[in-house]
Chains A and B, each alone.
Chain A
Amino acid sequence: MRLIVIIGVLLSGIILIASCQSDEELEFSRYYTSGSVIYQTRCMYCHGAKGEGLQLLIPPLTDSTYLKTYKQKLACIVKYGTKEKIKIAGKTFEGKMYPIALPSVQIAEVLTYVNNSFGNKLGVVTTEQVVNSLARCDNQQPY
């Protein structure tokens, strides 16, 4: 009986805390959780379980400065791929990234996941931001 009471108190505590989460926090966890599933199925084979990349073949996703600097470009790279020479974490990568066919909402989710995993802490990327970025891509043709 005492145990049930303790569990009950704990549970209501958790619910209370959860309901205290602000709308932004809720939005963030929704994006982040969905993004982690998309990352595992669409990104992980190449970029690695810890975003470590593969030597000089595939860039890591651990360079927060790069992610911050090219914030506007990230959605374009996911949607259309890239074959540009890029410098990440002090190393030059010349390979090709293939376009990943994802709707804007899923691009936002996976970018939120990447931007807040592997040591990055850059906050939420919303669907609205992704739609805006995609309207201004240099290249709008998949490679």
Chain B
Amino acid sequence: MMKHIVGIVALAVLFSSCKSPDKKTLPIYGNRQAVTKTVNGQTVTDTVYQTIPAFKFVNQYGDSITNKNLEGDIYVADFFFTTCPSICPVMHRNMLDVYNTFKNTPGFKIISHTIDPKHDSVPVLKSYADKLGIAGNTWWFLQGKKEDTYKLSESYLVRKPQEDAQQVFIHDGSFLLIDKQHRVRGAYDGTDPKQVSRLIEDIKTLQTEYIK
């Protein structure tokens, strides 16, 4: 374990020292594996990064949405529920800034997973989106089997949503930035306007990675 940590730190130092100060790159989060294979008789080592696994949900329009619908997209993900009395309103007030900045940008999406699918049916999600002033296909509110959503949340490195004694959901209000290869590139506190401004800047940085 210690060896791994030392290795990761050494790698981080190595990478950061290579970075030129004017060109910022976002880190890649999650597990990574070195895979050695033979290409044209030569041995090459590739790094395989952790990615968001396949999923299947339904959006606020009743359309089936899978990971394939996000192919080639940079996206921001969060977990919420429409009747949340505590942090969800502030999260989505801040997410509106992200939405308004990028809503006309092709290849960008926001997905909000409800963790209360029993209450948050498709019509409830549609009404929520309407009242929030969301139209079109930039911001999807996704609903599916609770176990699937909970399981997926683990791959986003967020704390798994938990229920307390009163069956009120607790979640940590994170916004996750996912790149076109579906790797986690950033995690932000969605209740903090300053961190959400940084998210907006990081999305712009990430977009430049794909400009050839």
The interface of chain A, by Cβ under 8 A from chain B, is: 44-46, 48, 54-58, 95-96, 98
Q: Which of B6-14, B66-74, B88-96, B142-150 lies on the face that meets chain A?
A: B88-96
Shortest CB distance A94–B (Å): 8
Residues of B within 8 A of A58 (CB): 89
18 pairs across A/B with beta carbons < 8 Å?
A44-B90, A45-B89, A46-B89, A46-B90, A54-B92, A54-B93, A54-B132, A55-B96, A55-B132, A56-B130, A56-B131, A56-B133, A57-B89, A57-B92, A57-B131, A58-B89, A96-B83, A98-B85
A41, chain B: closest CB distance, angstroms: 11
B131 cross-chain contacts in A, Cβ below 8 A:
55-57, 95
Min CB–CB distance B64 → chain A (angstroms): 26
CA distance A55 to B99 in the complex (A): 14
- Contact residues, B103-136 vs A (CB, 8 A): 128, 130-133
B residues with a Cβ closer than 8 A to A are 83, 85-87, 89-90, 92-93, 96, 128, 130-133, 191
Complexed CA–CA distance, A109 and B191 (Å): 25
Which residues of the partner chain A approach B90 to less than 8 Å between Cβ atoms? 44-46
- Complex Cα spacing A106 to B191, Å: 25
The A contact surface, by secondary structure, is loop
Q: A45-B90, A55-B96, A57-B131 are in contact. List 16 more A-B contacts (CB 8 A).
A: A44-B90, A45-B86, A45-B89, A46-B89, A46-B90, A54-B89, A54-B92, A54-B132, A55-B132, A55-B133, A56-B132, A56-B133, A57-B89, A57-B92, A95-B131, A96-B83
A58 and chain B: residue at smallest CB distance = B89
Chain A nearest Cβ from B136, distance in angstroms: 16
* A96 contact set on B, CB distance < 8 A: 83
Residue picked from A44, A45, A56, A58, most chain B C-beta under 10 Å: A45
Give B145 Cβ to nearest chain A Cβ, in Å. Answer: 26
Closest to A99 in B: B85
* Cβ–Cβ < 8 Å partners of A48 in chain B: 93
Q: Using Cβ atoms and an 8 Å threshold, which residues of chain B touch A46?
A: 85, 89-90
Q: In the complex, what distance in Å separates the CA atom of A44 from the CA atom of B93?
A: 12
Task: Give the distance in Å from the alpha carbon of A95 to the alpha carbon of B90 in the complex.
Answer: 16
Report Cα–Cα, A21/B133, bound state, in Å: 47
